[in-house]
Amino acid sequence: MSFEPLKGIRVLDLTSVVVGPVCSARLAQYGAEIIKVESPDGDLMRGLGGLSPTGQHSGAYLHLNRGKRNICCDLKKPGGKTIMEKLVASADVIIANMRPQALKRLGLDANTIREKHPDKIYCLITGYGTNGPYAGHPTYDSVVQAATGMTGLTLARDGVPAYVPMLICDHVVGEIAAGSILAAIMNHKVTGNGSSIEVPMFETMAAFVLQEHLAQQSFDPPVGPPGDLRLLSPHNKPVKTADGWVAFTINTDQQVRAFLKAVGRDELIDDSRFATVAARAQNVAEWFAIRGAPLTDRTTKEWLEILQAADIAVKPCHTLETLPHDPHLEVVGLLQYEQHPTEGKTVAIRSTISFDDAYPPLRSFSQPRGWETLAVLEEIGYSSGEIESLLAEGAAVANVEQQS
Let me know if residue 248 belongs to a domain: yes
Residue 1: band (very low, low, confident or very high) from pLDDT cuts 50, 70, 90: low
pLDDT of residue 3: 85
Model confidence at 404, pLDDT cuts 50, 70, 90, reads: very low
Radius of gyration of the chain (CA): 25
Please give the average per-residue pLDDT across 18-32, as a whole number: 97
Q: What angle do CA 152, 139, 206 make, to 5 degrees?
A: 40
Same domain, 143 and 75: yes
Based on the domain organization, do 203 and 245 belong to the same domain? no
Structure confidence at residue 399 (pLDDT) = 80
Domain boundary among 316, 346, 371: 316
Asked whether residue 133 carries a pLDDT value surpassing 50, the answer given is yes
SS3 200: strand
- Assign residue 310 the CATH number of its domain: 3.30.1540.10
Contact 173, 125 (CB under 8 A): yes
CA 21 to chain centre: 9
What's the CA gap between 118 and 40, in Å, rounded? 30
Cα separation, 96 vs 123, in Å, equals 6
pLDDT in tens, 192-209: 999 999 999 999 999 999
Measured CA to CA, the distance from residue 380 to residue 117 in angstroms comes to 16
346 and 275 inside one domain: no
Give the strand pairing for 68-73 and 396-397: antiparallel
The residue-averaged pLDDT of 8-25 equals 98
The residues, any chain, with a CB within 8 Å of residue 62's CB and separated by 6 or more, are 52, 340, 343, 346, 348, 365, 366
In a domain, 247, yes or no: yes
Domain finish residue from 287, 316, 345:
316
Residue 225 has pLDDT above 80, yes or no: yes
Do 146 and 250 share a domain, yes or no? no
Which domain CATH number covers 362?
3.40.50.10540
**How far is the C-alpha of 404 from the C-alpha of 397, rounded, in Å?**
12
| Whether residues 61 and 119 fall in one domain | yes
Domain of 156, in residue numbers: 10-208+332-403
Q: What is the pLDDT of residues 364-378, one digit of tens each?
A: 999 999 999 999 999
Average pLDDT in the chain = 95
Domain boundary among 288, 316, 344: 316
Q: Which residues contact 318 (CB under 8 A, 6 or more apart)?
A: 326
**Structural domains in the chain (count):** 2
Check pLDDT > 90 for residue 398.
yes
In a domain, 179, yes or no: yes
Contact 48, 200 (CB under 8 A): no
Residues 310 and 352 in one domain: no
Q: Tens of pLDDT along 39-98?
A: 999 999 999 999 999 999 999 999 999 999 999 999 999 999 999 999 999 999 999 999
- Each residue's pLDDT tens digit, 278-309: 999 999 999 999 999 999 999 999 999 999 99
Question: H or E stretch including 95?
Answer: strand 93-96
How far is it, in rounded angstroms, from Cα 89 to Cα 113? Answer: 9
Q: For position 138, what pLDDT does the model report?
A: 94
Within this chain, do residues 92 and 20 fall inside the same structural domain, yes or no?
yes
Compute φ and ψ for 339, nearest 5 degrees: -100, 115
379 within domain boundaries: yes
**Each residue of 304-353: pLDDT tens digit?**
999 999 999 999 999 999 999 999 999 999 999 999 989 999 999 999 99
- Helices 168-191, 201-213: inter-axial angle, 10-degree rounding: 110
402, pLDDT greater than 90: no
φ/ψ of residue 357, rounded to 5: 65, 20
More confident residue, 400 or 69: 69
Q: Taking residues 2-24, what's their average pLDDT?
A: 96
Q: pLDDT (tens digit, 9 = 90+) per residue, 141-172?
A: 999 999 999 999 999 999 999 999 999 999 99
Shared domain check, 353 and 296: no
Q: Does the residue 223 lie in any domain?
A: no
**Segment 293-298 long-range contacts (CB within 8 Å, at least 24 positions apart):** 293/235, 293/239, 294/239, 294/240, 294/241, 295/239, 295/240, 295/241, 295/246, 295/263, 296/240, 296/241, 296/242, 297/242, 298/241, 298/242
- In this structure, are 182 and 282 located in the same domain? no
